[in-house]
């Protein structure tokens, strides 16, 4: 095989990658094509994920996944609702095969399909055990008392694949039900109403890892966040920033701090996370 052909094959593989170094395949999901800075220093087991769905070749959004905590640190996306859209029916949450091995399919898939793909690839080990090493599975949440809290909610997208792709365990974290169904949901609607006045809105929603985990049979599985946070960058029709805000909520209460400046949210996240973070280039200003 010639070196030119090897290079071509390497480029094709890079284009299709889902677990994508530095979000190289989905930088368009971030304002100014610039992912947040600082979160990568929280752990050595972090994976940038460009979220793909079935036969669609374009990434729908991006998530920074913490394999050790079995939950995302944040998801980033372009809020895209349209008049007449409805929230689709709940879906079975899918997995990210490439967190197990980047040679596996790039699209999120149901657990049985992921296990079959692992067997077909000939990986050594029990497929379900290999999956559990890298990510959460649906059974982790069963009987836990926590909601699978969407960081990128399906209601922020048009009905169809844009909503269905949000049903992946790489896009959810354990949330108290009262918050997820109450003040946090109300804030999501508030942000959608603001988005209707923007030419384009970029959103990043994430978590502050906590000290506790969902445990299964005595084994710590999924980290329970201490706080949930979100930030948006609203552009006018000339792609110029016109408004930016942040929201922060403790995960054990049905209350949110909304309308924060990006600088104020970053300052609070620095205190909570122990690292300095930058959410948007120039704070979307």
pLDDT at res. 11? 36
According to DSSP, the residues that pair with 150 across neighbouring strands are 172
Q: Are 235 and 201 in contact (CB under 8 A)?
A: yes
pLDDT at res. 3? 39
Task: Provide the domain limits for residue 181.
Answer: 20-92+146-284
Q: What percent of the chain lies above the pLDDT cut of 90?
A: 89
Q: Is 5 inside any structural domain?
A: no
Distance CA 22, CA 8 (A): 21
Q: Is 216 inside any structural domain?
A: yes
Specify the pTM.
0.92
Q: Is 1 inside any structural domain?
A: no
pLDDT digits (tens, 9 = 90+) for 146-199: 999 999 999 999 999 999 999 999 999 999 999 999 999 999 999 999 999 999
Q: Is 153 inside any structural domain?
A: yes
Q: Domain count for the chain, please give it.
A: 1
pLDDT digits (tens, 9 = 90+) for 203-250: 999 999 999 999 999 999 999 999 999 999 999 999 999 999 999 999
CATH number of the domain bearing residue 253? 3.40.570.10
Q: Is 33 inside any structural domain?
A: yes
Distance CA 229, CA 213 (A): 19
Q: Is 200 inside any structural domain?
A: yes
In the predicted model, what is the mean pLDDT of the chain? 93
Q: Is 185 inside any structural domain?
A: yes
Q: Is 221 inside any structural domain?
A: yes
With a cut of 60, say whether residue 1 has pLDDT above it: no
pLDDT at res. 95? 98
């Amino acid at each position: 095989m010639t070196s030119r052909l090897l290079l071509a094959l390497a480029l094709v593989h890079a284009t299709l990658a889902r677990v994508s170094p530095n979000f190289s395949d989905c930088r368009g999901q971030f304002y100014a094509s610039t992912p947040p800075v600082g979160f990568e220093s929280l752990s050595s087991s972090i994976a940038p994920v460009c979220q793909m769905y079935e036969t669609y070749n374009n990434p729908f959004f991006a998530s920074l996944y913490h394999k050790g905590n079995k939950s995302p640190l944040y998801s980033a996306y372009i809020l895209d609702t349209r008049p007449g859209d409805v929230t689709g029916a709940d879906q079975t949450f899918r997995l990210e095969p490439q967190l197990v091995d980047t040679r596996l399919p790039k699209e999120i898939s149901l657990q049985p399909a992921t296990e079959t793909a692992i067997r077909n690839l000939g990986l050594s080990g029990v497929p379900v055990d290999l999956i559990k090493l890298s990510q959460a599975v649906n059974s982790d949440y069963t009987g836990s008392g926590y909601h699978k809290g969407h960081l990128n909610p399906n209601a922020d997208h048009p009905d169809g694949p844009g909503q269905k792709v949000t049903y992946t365990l790489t896009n959810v974290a354990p949330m108290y039900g009262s918050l997820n169904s109450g003040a946090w949901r109300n804030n999501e609607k508030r942000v959608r109403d603001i988005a209707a006045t923007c030419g384009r809105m970029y959103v990043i929603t994430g978590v502050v890892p906590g000290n506790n985990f969902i445990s299964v049979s005595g084994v710590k599985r999924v980290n329970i966040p201490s706080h949930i946070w979100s930030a948006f960058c609203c552009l006018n029709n000339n792609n110029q920033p016109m408004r930016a805000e942040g929201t922060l909520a403790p995960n054990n209460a049905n209350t949110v701090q909304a309308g924060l400046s990006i600088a104020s949210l970053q300052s609070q996240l620095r205190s909570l996370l122990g690292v300095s973070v930058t959410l948007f280039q120039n704070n979307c200003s």
